[in-house]
Chains A and B, each alone.
Chain A
Amino acid sequence: MRRRPNVLAGFGSLVWLFVVGLPLYTLLAATLQSRADYAANGPLGLPTHLTLQNYLDDLDGGFGQYFLNTVIVTVSVVAIVLLVVPPLSYAIVRSRGRTTNLAFRLFLLGLAIPAQAVIVPMFYVISKAGLYDNLIGVILPTAAFSLPVCALVLTGVMRDITPELYEAMAMDGAAPWRVFLQLVLPLSKGGLSTITVFSALQAWNGFLFPLVLTQSDETKVITLGLYDFQTQYGINVPGLLAAVVLSMIPILLVYLFARRALVQGLMGVGGK
């Protein structure tokens, strides 16, 4: 059918593979050698003596704690998202109320609010609430800012459920909560995994909220740890890059297993 061997784009795609692949290769190669070897071989050279020492050093140097904090933030954010977004999307799709429609528009507007725009008042609110330098103070705004995208994705999925199914349940006299539990949730599994992956990614990679809302080592998340590490020990390149790899491992694992959910969510679940 589609007989368009786009030579130009095909060649470009190979160039891009190089652009994407080379930095990732140098990243991995650098972390597997000692500082002396790295200095001798250079970033583009082949590693001679492989070692995992850089990773062990990082974990000893506090990255274990940062890792744990990031896990706490991520799990909490996902829990909040999964608790509030499905009912929201259900209401958006099925309710005929004007208030719900208004709420939906609010979330659409929220898509365009950058976190930087509210970071000063967020600092004010979180400080006044006594949550400064507390992981809860990071979790709440992070979750709030992943709501618009998640709501949009899940609403798109729920919109695809055919009206006949709702009507069938209505004939049985099912209340909204039964429709929600027995029809909507099971049929939105794909969308639920998408928003799980998506909000987890946001939380795991979050930087600005932790940067501004926390201070001490006990509340430090892994992205902040990277930033600190760079400013303090920027000379130890293999150690620094090993920390980068550590911060990526869970994401890459999730990607390996949930690629479909993520890509489809981004590409347009309901757009087909």
Chain B
Amino acid sequence: MTTTLATGAVTQRRPASRAGTAVTRPGFAWALPATVFFVLFAIVPLVLVAVLSFTRWNGLGSPEFAGLDNWSRLFDDPVMVKSLWLSLLLTLLGVAVQTPISILLGVWAAGNQRNRAVLSAIYFVPLLLSATAVSVLWRALLDPNFGIPAEAEWLFGDGNLFGTQTGAIGVLVLVGAWQFTPFHTLIYQGAARAVPQVLYQAAAIDGAGTVRQFFHITLPQLRNAIITSVILMVVGGLTTFDTVLILTQGGPGTDTTISAYYMYQKAFKGFDFGTGSAVALLLVLVAAVISLVVVRLSGYDRMRSTTEGL
């Protein structure tokens, strides 16, 4: 099949060439190992999670069919409903905090001076660290007895940030921003570099100052980058897990029990893998809807902006 297609294409361009030229196109066989591997370890589990969400399974025996049991219990479960709201709240706060900072930093870093390159290199470091390392570090830094709050009581009051919902959510947003702002800065940096200089020159001739140039040229030109970055923040925010496990364990009470953490709790602590799967499937559905939006808006499917949206 591949050969015929390729021959057709080649004849179109160079009528003189014969079938021998067409051989230089690789067939699907080249993509097969990666595809099979990916299907086995990502797509099959994705299908399985849907199946398991209709079963009862404690992790040891075999799953038993349970109909809609898990699902109906899930929607009556106040913790589950709360966890969805918390996931959305944390995501929104993350977007609200990270977007303005990373746009400013990205536009600034898009300049050419040497100190910018050095600073950008430093900014990048938090992104390299595992969420585990970042969380352990911040947990220690914000420890009420040994950390910064013990030294700066004027700022932190009694110092136990992890003891109140506001404090715990604040910590999660802060730590998320600390780690992921560099990444979004990078997206904006790339996009800001791509803005045609002509626009700025024209604006300068018209007498527009830096601030007006920023709002009337840079920001509109960053539109696609903003969409991509925000969508990635949403997907990332909805699936935050390590940070919550290490920093707050979902507490105080269930005040930071977001859906991904709740799924882990249900499945691997409560040995209720059926319900865990149902929660996971909910997450997939949300992520899938968003991914469709990503593909449409960012032009992945047309391969225009190859890696802009990683």
Binding site for B on A (CB under 8 A): 1-10, 12-13, 16-17, 19-21, 23-24, 26-27, 30, 38-39, 42-44, 80, 83-85, 87-88, 90-92, 94-97, 99-100, 103-125, 127, 140-141, 143-145, 147-149, 151-153, 155-156, 159, 166, 169-171, 173-176, 179-180, 201, 204-208, 212, 223, 226-227, 229-230, 234-235, 237, 240-241, 243-244, 247-248, 251-252, 255, 259, 263, 265-272
- Consensus secondary structure, chain B interface: helix
Q: Quick check: B280 and A12 within 8 Å, CB to CB? A: no
Q: Are B34 and A85 in contact (CB under 8 A)?
A: yes
> Which residues of the other chain, B, contact A174 by a CB distance below 8 angstroms?
24
In the complex, B133 has a CB within 8 A of chain A: yes
Please give the residue numbers on chain B whose beta carbons come within 8 Å of chain A beta carbons, in ascending order: 1-2, 5-6, 9, 20-21, 23-31, 33-35, 37-46, 48-49, 52, 57, 59, 63, 101, 104-105, 107-109, 111-112, 116, 119, 121-126, 128-133, 136-141, 143, 146-148, 150-151, 178, 181-183, 186-187, 189-190, 194, 197, 200-201, 204, 210-211, 213-214, 235, 238-239, 241-242, 245-246, 260, 263-264, 267-268, 273, 276-277, 280-281, 283-284, 287-288, 290-291, 294-295, 300-301, 303, 305-308, 310
Supply 24 A–B pairs (Cβ within 8 Å), ascending by A: A4-B213, A6-B111, A12-B104, A13-B119, A17-B122, A23-B178, A27-B137, A42-B151, A87-B34, A95-B2, A95-B30, A112-B288, A114-B287, A117-B49, A117-B281, A124-B63, A140-B41, A144-B40, A176-B23, A205-B130, A235-B146, A255-B124, A266-B307, A271-B190
Given contacts A87-B34, A91-B28, A207-B131, is CB(A106)–CB(B308) below 8 Å? Answer: no
- Looking at chain A's contact residues, is the secondary structure mostly helix, strand, loop, or mixed? helix
A106 and B307 contacting across the interface, CB-CB below 8 Å: no
Residues of A within 8 A of B26 (CB): 87, 90-91, 94-95, 176, 179-180
A109 proximity list for chain B (CB < 8 A): 291
A229 to B133, CA, bound (A): 11
A99 to chain B, nearest CB (A): 4
Q: Min CB distance, A251 to chain B, in Å?
A: 5
Give every chain A residue within 8 A of B126 (Cβ-Cβ): 20
Q: Find chain B residues with CB under 8 A from A91 CB.
A: 26-31
A266-B25 CB under 8 A given contacts A20-B125, A106-B39, A247-B130: no
Q: Which residues of B are found within 8 Å of A19, using beta-carbon distances?
A: 178
Q: Given A201-B128, A263-B186, A271-B306, answer yes or no on A117-B283 (Cβ-Cβ < 8 Å).
A: yes
Q: Would you call A124 and B52 a contact (CB within 8 A)?
A: yes
Q: Hey, which chain B residues are within 8 Å of A265, CB to CB?
A: 307, 310
Given contacts A84-B33, A99-B28, A169-B24, contact A117 B280 (CB under 8 A): yes
B49 smallest CB distance to A (angstroms) = 5
Q: Whole-angstrom distance between the alpha carbons of A244 and B200 in the complex? A: 45
A88 to B300, CA, bound (A): 17
A23 close to B34 (CB less than 8 A): no
Complex contacts, A226 vs chain B, CB 8 Å: 130, 132-133, 136
Question: How many Å from the CB of B239 to the closest CB on chain A?
Answer: 4
**In whole Å, how far is B280's beta carbon from the nearest beta carbon of chain A?**
5
Interface centre among B33, B128, B194 (most CB of A within 10 A): B128
Q: Given A44-B148, A166-B24, decide whether A114 and B140 contact each other with a Cβ distance below 8 A.
A: no
CA–CA, A193 and B150, complex, Å:
45
Question: Is B37's CB under 8 angstroms from A9's CB?
Answer: no
Q: Are A159 and B306 in contact (CB under 8 A)?
A: yes
CB distance from A178 to the nearest CB of B (A): 9
Given the complex of chains A and B, what is the CA–CA distance between A123 and B23 in angstroms?
Answer: 43
